[in-house]
């Protein structure tokens, strides 16, 4: 007898970042957020850098490994255009090349630790800097210093900050970049660990900006440290 049961409904459309599995602490995950593939290797790297007993040397080595993965993932989100080359065999190869120029901008001081990872994959990349601190009077994030490539408005910007806690500094940094003419959609924020609340606030304010993060943690404590986190990234990295 012919099967007359109705066909099952088609699966719902998958969001662009559906490969993510580390969404437990932020569900639904904003579609502009991309986490690294949550492999056992990645978890092992995070376990080392989270461990308070880890030596400074190991912290540097293993956080650099994660940063390298994050930068590579960030580059995956840059637009490309068709590019045809001739190979030494005389054949043509129809490939692609990056569409535009990029630069890095590190949020001082912890973001500086991510510059080497960017330079490893983008030789002679220009890197700007931005220093944002809490204004003692207003308690709001305040711009203290910035230095950008003079043509930053025409570049894609990889914004570097390892820890996204409340999101205050990162949001101020994006505002400053936009004041310098960089459109929101040309900024890619690269981050090691994010708090769910910081990530949500950040993505709500800048929905067109892509966020590449390695891990979304449980939340913030009363001192605005990420939990479980890894403590103060700058202190762990620079020992000061």
Judged by the rule CB under 6 A, the positions of this chain that interact with ligand URA are 110, 163, 165, 225-226, 229, 232-234
Cβ closer to ligand URA: 165 or 211?
165
Question: Least distance to ligand URA from the beta carbon of 4, Å?
Answer: 59
Cβ closer to ligand URA: 32 or 195?
195
Question: Least distance to ligand URA from the beta carbon of 169, Å?
Answer: 9
Cα angle, residue 35 at apex, residues 31 and 41 outer, rounded to 5°? 160
Cβ closer to ligand URA: 165 or 209?
165
Cβ closer to ligand URA: 2 or 239?
239
Cβ closer to ligand URA: 121 or 224?
224
Question: Least distance to ligand URA from the beta carbon of 177, Å?
Answer: 20
Question: Least distance to ligand URA from the beta carbon of 43, Å?
Answer: 19
Strand pairing category for 80-86 and 92-98: antiparallel
Question: Least distance to ligand URA from the beta carbon of 229, Å?
Answer: 4
Cβ closer to ligand URA: 152 or 203?
203
Cα angle, residue 204 at apex, residues 203 and 210 outer, rounded to 5°? 25
Question: Least distance to ligand URA from the beta carbon of 170, Å?
Answer: 11
């Amino acid at each position: 007898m012919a099967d007359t049961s109705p066909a099952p409904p088609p699966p719902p459309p998958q969001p662009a970042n559906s490969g993510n599995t580390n969404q437990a602490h932020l569900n639904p995950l904003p579609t502009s957020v991309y986490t690294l593939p949550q492999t056992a290797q990645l978890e092992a790297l995070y376990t080392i850098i989270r461990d308070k007993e880890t030596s400074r040397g190991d912290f540097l080595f293993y956080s650099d490994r994660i940063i390298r993965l994050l930068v590579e993932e960030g580059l995956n989100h840059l637009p490309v255009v068709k590019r045809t080359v001739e190979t030494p065999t005389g054949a043509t190869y129809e490939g692609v090349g990056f569409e535009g120029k990029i630069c890095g901008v590190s949020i001082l001081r912890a973001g500086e630790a991510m510059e080497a990872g960017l330079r490893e994959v983008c030789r002679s990349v220009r890197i700007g800097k931005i220093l944002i601190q809490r204004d003692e009077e207003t308690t709001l994030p305040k711009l203290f210093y910035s230095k950008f490539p003079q043509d930053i408005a025409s570049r894609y910007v990889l914004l570097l900050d390892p820890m996204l806690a409340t999101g205050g500094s990162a949001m101020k940094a994006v505002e400053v970049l936009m004041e310098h003419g960089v459109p929101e959609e040309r900024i890619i924020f690269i981050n090691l660990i994010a708090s769910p609340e910081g990530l949500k606030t950040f993505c709500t304010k800048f929905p067109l900006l892509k966020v590449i993060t390695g891990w979304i943690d449980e939340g913030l404590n009363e001192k605005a440290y990420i939990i479980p986190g890894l403590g103060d990234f700058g202190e762990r990295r620079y020992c000061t």
